[in-house]
Structure 1
Amino acid sequence: MRESKLIYIASPYAGNIEENVTFAKRACRYAIRQGGIPVAVHLLYPQMLDDSNPAERELGLQLGMQFMERCDELWVCGDRISSGMAQEITEAIKLNIPIKSIGTHEIQKEQLPAEMEQIAASGQSLAMA
């Protein structure tokens, strides 16, 4: 069995968080359909760190950068690059991690399962039972 690539997903988070979270979930789904194993740290760390607190936001970015070291590729998803994404791109270049750009139109084609769409629309987070 061929080992899948570990894909670091970079997409906007701040701003319209609800919309950006839904987009990030679609980006992960897109990566899965391409045979990758996606990791979107911006979906994980805001669950335990306060993104509006500069120190905690910086901690989340630093944790993400350390995780990126283990990834095979960085996928920049969407048509705009946030300040956090710019830092991730800079780090990927330093680490010689290949960078792939995936446009918004490709990601928007991904349909989330109905349950995930309802959760994303309500702003709730997924809880594992």
Structure 2
Amino acid sequence: MKINQITLTDLRRMNGKEGLILQGCGGETQEWVDGINEMLTDKGILLDNTKFENVSVFQNDGVTCILYPFADVHLDIGKLAMWRLQSYTAFAGMWLSDYVDNRLSGFEPEQNKEEKLKPDCALIGCDFNIFNLMGIASRTLKQNGMAPFIPHFYALILDDSNKEERNLGMLAGLSMLWVCDAVWVFGDELTEGMKTEIRFTEKLNIKVRYISENDLRTSEVKNDKIKKN
């Protein structure tokens, strides 16, 4: 087991790496690491008998934080994302990349990649069925080297009338927001589920792109529809 003491500057030089940061980790670091290893193993998140053995500790505004890097472990990342959301009040867990972007003003400038422009998406005269629109948006993003994620996918494999399955689908969709660059909102009516996703998006400081029904009927969706929250 290796426990490293690092600075905030060290974190800002970790562009291209990913890990889990837990905040408010007072006391013995070894006890924290052993406890998290045991917990994530029991929940089927740490796989193939791997565990975190090379962690880093740092201080930010008087708060002790521990970075658990993903480089040397095998993870069920979907289960980890769900666990991080469910345990946020206890551990305030954040992905390394999100922590640096939101708490430390981003990675060091010379390491930043040029931000990709969001592509225009031609929708004039299209069938406005939600699944058809998702297909058009997905193809547009793919053609521009982006990877779309559509939470409506969970409506196809889960029972939305079942409260437990609906909550599972909502949590799964919210967990994916941590790795999104932007969120596109189609139509003029916002459901309660959409409002929940938008509020969470705003907390993560992710760009939201509002596309009204009028936009869909009369014009192409332009980049100036992007709003920074």
Could you state the TM-score of these two structures normalised by the residue count of structure 1?
Answer: 0.59
Structural RMSD (CA):
3.3
CA pair 48-102 structure 1, distance change in 2 beyond 3 A: same
Q: Is the 1:77–1:101 contact (alpha carbons within 8 Å) kept by the matching residues of 2?
A: yes
Q: Report the 3-state secondary structure (helix = DSSP H, G, I; strand = E; otherwise coil) of the residue aligned with 1:101.
A: strand
Is the Cα–Cα contact under 8 Å of residues 65 and 88 in structure 1 kept in the other structure? yes
Unmatched tracts of structure 2, length 5 or more: 1-113, 119-128, 221-229
Distance 1:107 1:30 in 2: 15
Q: 1:20-59, aligned counterparts within 5 Å?
A: 20-32=130-142, 36-42=146-152, 44-59=153-168
CA–CA distance in structure 1, aligned partners of residues 135 and 175 of structure 2: 21
Indicate which of 188, 196, 218 corresponds to 1:79: 188
- Which string of whole-angstrom CA distances, capped at 9 and with x for unpartnered residues, describes residues 17-50 of structure 1? xx433333344345456664321121x2123211
Structure 1: runs of 5 or more not aligned: 7-18, 111-129
Structure 2 Cα separation of the partners of residues 31 and 107 of structure 1: 17
Q: Indicate how the Cα distance of structure 1 residues 48 and 5 shifts in structure 2: closer, same or farther if over 3 A, else same.
A: farther
Q: What is the rounded CA distance, in whole Å, between the counterparts of 1:25 and 1:104 in structure 2?
A: 17
Q: For CA contacts below 8 A with separation 6 or more, give which structure has more relative contact order.
A: 1
Please give the secondary structure, in 1, of the residue aligned with 2:197. Answer: helix
CA displacement at 1:60 relative to structure 2? 0.3
Residues paired across the two proteins, number: 98
Percent identity of the aligned residues?
34
2:218 is the alignment partner of 1:94 = no
